[in-house]
Amino acid sequence: SAENIDAYFDCVLGLTKIAGELIREKVKAGVKVNTKDCDIDLVTETDQEVEKLLINGLKTNFPSHKFIGEETVASGQKCELSNSPTWVIDPIDGTMNFVHAFPHCCISVALFIDAAPVIGIIYNPTLEQLFTAKKGQGAYLNGEKIHVSKVATMNKALLMMENGTSREPERVKTVFANHQILIPKLHGTRTLGSAALNMAMVAMGAADAYFEFGIHIWDIGAGEILITEAGGVVIDPVGGPLDRCSRRVLCASTNDLAVEFTKCLQQYYPMPRD
């Protein structure tokens, strides 16, 4: 019910603010870095600490809820998206930025019910940008309503795109191919280093599109509801509905713009599903 959603939202927002304070302190103090899949796939103790803080806090309040967290999955837990209420958590999206004190990392947390997001929070504690969305209630930045842009053609579009953290040769080739294909067709491209913040830029109309191959459900869960509540579209890069565990995403301010992208993107498929 709507009352439940409000209670879930208030609880997770409180925890997110506490976690944000922790991130701000660690950015000041400097952090020790470990690696995951390859030498540019980074993780820090803070990623793990923030994830624990959020999961423990939510579990205490909502003991029946399920969790999918980036670091819990990295430590071996299966990523299972059922119809039960499930919190999908990226404790620090943009860990590379966090490690370098580049001021664009965030906490990204979403509540999924029936396998679709109903709450999304993206919080950049360094720049104090708090993006929030609840299903059917619009999208907000620091309490003010946000909307996607009206851009409907690539020749007027600013695209968020990432190089990704894989050095797998075929993946890298696709990244370069897409730069070559897309740049001449666009106004320009930008890279924030965080899938969630890239999506937030589309939601607030500061950018017009974003796509990535290789992302995970925790990178895009909150971003999906933020963009759809801001009036935009989130689909599969080949066209058709988003497959949330497929490691692929395309977002745009308008459906026309999304369709134009699906026609010229070089696609990439060979990734294990979440």
Interacting residues toward ligand LIP by CB under 6 A: 70, 90, 93-95, 162, 164-165, 194-195, 212, 214-215, 219
- CA–CA gap between residue 252 and residue 191 (Å, rounded): 15
Residue 196 beta carbon to ligand LIP: minimum distance, rounded to whole angstroms: 6
Which residue's CB is nearer to ligand LIP, number 94 or number 125? 94
Residue 201 beta carbon to ligand LIP: minimum distance, rounded to whole angstroms: 12
Say if CB 211 and CB 198 are below 8 A apart: no
Residue 4 beta carbon to ligand LIP: minimum distance, rounded to whole angstroms: 28
Residue 67 beta carbon to ligand LIP: minimum distance, rounded to whole angstroms: 16
Phi first, then psi: give them for residue 81, nearest 5 degrees.
-100, 105
Which residue's CB is nearer to ligand LIP, number 96 or number 113? 96
Hey, which residues are catalytic here? 70, 90, 92-93, 95, 219
Which residue's CB is nearer to ligand LIP, number 90 or number 208? 90
Which residue's CB is nearer to ligand LIP, number 117 or number 214? 214
Which residue's CB is nearer to ligand LIP, number 95 or number 124? 95
Residue 43 beta carbon to ligand LIP: minimum distance, rounded to whole angstroms: 8
